[in-house]
């Protein structure tokens, strides 16, 4: 039974049909399979609507939805507030932590090396940076 529903079994059966069928018959077979899928989807939709009608009967649907809206409103407001707080903190940290905030040192890519160095130190005396470029490791230049 496990082999009957396995993907390799299904693919093997399709290959056998492909050998036996011509191009037109193959297209008809594909169309039939698509029709079967549409019927499955239609049945699923009908059962889903039936389940909604079972949980929320049409007679009391409006009352039940109002009740659940009153119950869920504090949670919805709390979730929205939390998401806004996280978004604000993320934007704030992005600005402050990347050199946009007060007191943060702006960094630049070190010329001739791959790391980052403080921009004010380089701009104050670029000659000494290039003079010491080959003699010191990047950690000592910071």
Of the chain, the end-to-end C-alpha distance in Å amounts to 69
Strand-pair category, 107-109 with 116-118: antiparallel
| Distant-in-sequence, close-in-space partners of 64: CB < 8 Å, separation ≥ 6 | 56
Instruction: Give the tens place of pLDDT for each residue, 22-42.
Output: 777 778 878 888 898 888 888
Cα maximum dimension of the chain:
86
What is the C-alpha to C-alpha distance for residues 106 and 118, in angstroms, rounded to an integer? Answer: 6
| Distant-in-sequence, close-in-space partners of 130: CB < 8 Å, separation ≥ 6 | 111, 112
| Distant-in-sequence, close-in-space partners of 25: CB < 8 Å, separation ≥ 6 | none
Instruction: Give the tens place of pLDDT for each residue, 69-117.
Output: 899 999 999 999 999 999 888 877 765 555 455 556 788 888 877 788 8
Overall pTM > 0.75 = no
């Amino acid at each position: 039974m496990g082999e009957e529903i396995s993907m390799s079994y299904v693919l093997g059966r399709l290959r056998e049909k492909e050998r036996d069928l011509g191009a037109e018959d193959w297209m008809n077979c594909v169309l039939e399979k698509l029709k079967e899928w549409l019927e499955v989807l239609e049945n699923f939709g009908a059962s889903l609507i039936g389940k909604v009608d079972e949980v929320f009967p049409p007679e009391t649907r409006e009352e039940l939805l109002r009740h659940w809206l009153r119950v869920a409103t504090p949670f919805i407001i709390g979730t929205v507030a939390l998401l806004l707080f996280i978004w604000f903190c993320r934007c704030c940290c992005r600005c402050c932590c990347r050199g946009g905030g007060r007191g943060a040192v702006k960094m630049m890519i070190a010329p001739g090396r791959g790391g980052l160095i403080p921009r004010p130190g380089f701009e104050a005396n670029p000659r000494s940076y290039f003079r010491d470029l080959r003699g010191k490791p990047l950690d000592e230049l910071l």
